[in-house]
A and B are shown apart, each in its own frame.
Chain A
């Protein structure tokens, strides 16, 4: 397990009195400053099923990625951090305080949850306004307009949320979570369902939030996404802390393992013919839906290569994505190491 401290970002969040210090050896991304979020041997189980097992880490200002395959325990960890779930064992402190039973903490707190549903009968602006009113902001209108601007949703803000695309719902949820300008922000798979332009905007926003000294934790199951905004990564696999540290170091370890990438294209056979024989492609196969399943030993170079190869072959690309099986395999490899 690797622990690394980054150079200090601007204006770190200072926890209130009663801040706790975790034992030595626990992954700590606090830039040498105080921790905003501390998990100490946190576990969550449901009967015999262990969702999270003795996870410990400390996070300070900046963006931290919470990485792991689907079902690894990322959402459960985030929900415990937000106070939605009580840990079965261990302690969680946000700015030195336990969250559960202390609503006042939520003045400093914003959560973008994975839940799809937002009140469908509200417009985007009404939803953000509701969040602002519940935060008891003095100037609701100004805060709402600022938050909607942040996610670039002005043009659709007066439409009903029920008619939004998944990407628009994600963005308005982000606006709702940021309307009170919190200094601790938790985001559960915020890029899910967003198109490339929306994704780029959200990634820029996440980076800006981290750079402005806020503590931002973003979960994702896609490493190449996380490394675009997170200085530090915490990898959770099967409910356990598998790795933690600087994303470059973790990426190097992950890159040593083969990835399986699924490609959906207008003419998969022609594209496959272009890919076969490339040094970074280990094997090519097709699944039952005539999608290409490519094994590669350098997923980053492969992601760069495929669009160019498709253009040369005159093939339209619809999807290029690592398979879930591949991700699980890669993350499991980290645990084995």
Chain B
């Protein structure tokens, strides 16, 4: 019951916050890019259209920049806002395990972020594929699966960061643009330490289209295990932090 009560509370916090509009705006931003091919002078070949949606929109724009930004907003506010507003004590001064608080918050992040992100992707796919839906159908499930992997990883990391850093949102934005967008794209060693790489790898592996390629793509078992480890470690560290931190 405490777990559900905290999850419900957090969902209500999210649903009344302006941050939710930011997440929706970021989640649906790729739709703009999905429209552009329809205004090209001549109709794109199916191969080119798949490259635009797969390489440019999903691998280039969505996985490394938009997905982490959208996840960042709610992940840092789930516990960060409670610390800033000094309302966290209403949860911590209760006979409930700290893990329950952390898990309930993480659950709320997933419940709100995943549907918004997936809805944005579905619309993006539908707009880009308009008129050729049957030929493009196989791209949608890998896109959605990759997004879920990304939300899990980014959500756990950003929620943890918000327990250590007061301005977690700013730090997160810095991280997204420097680490996930710039460094991990060009430095192969860093790639395997970026969530972006696992999002992209999930998409590429599940799609299995020769036209859509990725350097050093991770195997699916590696992806699942890595993301599971990241989530477990982040939740464990967040639990420890919540237990030991001072609440002014």
**A residues with CB within 8 A of B:** 79, 82-86, 100-101, 103-107, 109, 111, 113, 115, 117-119, 121-122, 130-131, 133-136, 176
Contact = CB atoms under 8 A, between A and B. Distances in A.
B18 interface: no
Given A84-B247, A85-B246, A109-B93, 18 more contacts: A79-B248, A82-B89, A82-B93, A85-B247, A101-B244, A103-B94, A103-B96, A103-B98, A104-B95, A111-B93, A117-B87, A118-B87, A118-B90, A119-B87, A122-B12, A133-B1, A134-B90, A134-B94
B226 interface: no
- Closest 7 pairs (CB-CB, A-B): A134-B94, A133-B5, A115-B86, A84-B247, A107-B95, A106-B95, A85-B246
B94 A106 contact: yes
B2 A134 contact: yes
B243 interface: yes
Interface residues of B, number: 26
A77 to B, nearest CB: 13
Contacts of B97: 103
A84 B246 contact: yes
Interface of B: 1-2, 5-6, 9, 12-13, 16, 85-87, 89-98, 243-244, 246-248
Contacts of A79: 247-248
Contacts of A106: 93-95
Contacts of B246: 84-86
Given A119-B9, A119-B13, A121-B16, A83 B93 contact: yes
14 contacts: A84-B93, A84-B248, A85-B248, A103-B94, A115-B86, A115-B89, A117-B85, A130-B9, A131-B90, A131-B94, A134-B6, A134-B94, A134-B96, A136-B2
Nearest to B88: A84
A106 B89 CA distance: 12
B204 to A, nearest CB: 42
Contacts of B2: 133-134, 136
A113 B5 CA distance: 21
A117 B86 contact: yes
Given A134-B6, A136-B2, A176 B13 contact: no
B89 A84 contact: yes
A100 B247 CA distance: 12
A121 B93 CA distance: 21
A245 B13 CA distance: 45
Contacts of A135: 94-95
Contacts of B13: 119, 121
Nearest to A84: B247
Nearest to B247: A84
A327 to B, nearest CB: 23
In this complex, the member of B13, B86, B244 whose beta carbon has the largest number of chain A beta carbons within 10 angstroms is B86
Nearest to B12: A121
Contacts of B248: 79, 84-85
Which of B9, B93, B98 has the most chain A CB atoms closer than 10 A to its own CB? B93
A86 to B, nearest CB: 6
